[in-house]
Structure formats: structure tokens, C-alpha cells
Amino acid sequence: MNVSAIGSACAVSPEERALRDLYLKHGPALYSYVVRLLDGDVHRAEDILQETLLRCWKSKNLTDGEGMAVRPWMFRVARNLVIDAHRTRKARPAEIDGTSWLNDMPSEADDIDRVLSSMVVRDALQELSPAHRQVLEATFFADCTTQQAADELGIPRGTVKSRVYYALRSLKPALQQRGLAIHY
């Protein structure tokens, strides 16, 4: 914290001297309090401290007096400023950098990657046993539940579940051999 930013040692007016004294007396404690409220964001804490002191200046609330203690008032103002800033950020839509729309557009490279990946998966599926291939086709590619797949294949639901498990376990190394990673 820079004292010269608040007021010089040779401040002319009594208000300037009072603001400087206020900063020297309460500034470090207020700054520490605001940094804790902001989870260590020192730059925003400096802004809040400056705004708090500016409000003291504007309200001419620079000294204890007239039944009002300055320190609790300053802490309350700083806390309210932190809350207001938080609410403002939550109410605003997320800022974008201007290039995010490019990421949303499908590219030819994405289409080519998708086609190549599907060819690799189809090839790896050929290494599975027919029973394992059938349950994967029924559950993943036909988008059936395990019960629907069991009814379609004429086998118990538990058998479908175990075959899917072992089929995926067998499919993973087959895909890795072909340079494709599978995450499930």
C-alpha cells in the first residue's frame, strides 16, 4: 500500500490531512480484511480500499465524532462494496474474447477426424467376439437400455451388463493399439 497514493505528507487542507491520517490508522487492517473477503485478490482489494476512502471523503466522515465511529463504518462500506461487486459479476453474462464463436463452428478437420475415428472403432470391433459385439451394438449404437437389449437378444439383463463390461475392457486395448484412446 502506497501512502503517497492517498495523500502527501505535506497535505494542505485539513480534509487531506484527515484522510491521510485515516488511511494510516485504519488502512492496513481494512486492506487485510478486504483481501480475505476477496480470497487474496490484492488488486481488487486495493480498489475497494480506495473506493471506501473516497466515500469517507465524500461523506466528510473522516474523524470519529457525533456518535459515529469511523472504523466500523469503513469496514461495513468495504464489505458492501465487495458484495455489490460480486453480485454485479454474477448478473453479467460471461465475457468472451471474440474468438469463441470460431470454436463453435464445425470444421472439415473435425468431420475428417470423426470419420477416421469411426473407421478405427469399426475395425477394433471386429476383434471382439460376436457376443460382445452384439451387446455393444445393441446398447451403444442402437441406444437401447440393458433391458431392451436383453429382450432383443433373448438373454438375461445381467448377462448383457457383464458382456458390455468385458466388451469394453477388450475394446480399450484394441483401440489403443490403433492410436485411439477410450475413456469410459
Instruction: Give per-residue pLDDT as tens, 39-60.
Output: 899 999 999 999 998 888 787 7
Residue limits of CATH 1.10.10.10 in the chain: 108-177
pTM for the predicted model, two decimal places: 0.45
Residue 78 has what pLDDT? Answer: 93
Residue 135 has what pLDDT? Answer: 93
Cell numbers 466528510 correspond to what residue?
60
Sorting pLDDT into bands at 50, 70 and 90, what band is 161?
very high
Q: Are 52 and 6 in contact (CB under 8 A)?
A: no
- 171: cell is 475394446
Residue 148 has what pLDDT? Answer: 93
For the domain covering 108-177, report its CATH number: 1.10.10.10
C-alpha to C-alpha distance for 184 and 177, rounded to whole angstroms: 17
Long-range contacts of the stretch 158-166 (C-beta < 8 A, 24+): 160/135, 163/131, 163/132, 163/134, 163/135, 164/135, 164/136, 164/139, 166/132
pLDDT at 66 > cutoff 90: no
Residue-wise burial string across 41-68, b where 16 or more C-beta atoms lie within 10 A, e elsewhere: eeebbbebbeebbebbbeeebbeeeeee
pLDDT at 181 > cutoff 70: no
Residue limits of CATH 1.10.1740 in the chain: 3-91
Asked which of 90-104, 124-138, 150-164 is least confident by mean pLDDT, the reply is 90-104
C-alpha to C-alpha distance for 110 and 68, rounded to whole angstroms: 66
- Whether domain 3-91 has CATH 2.40.30: no
* Average predicted confidence (pLDDT) for the chain: 80
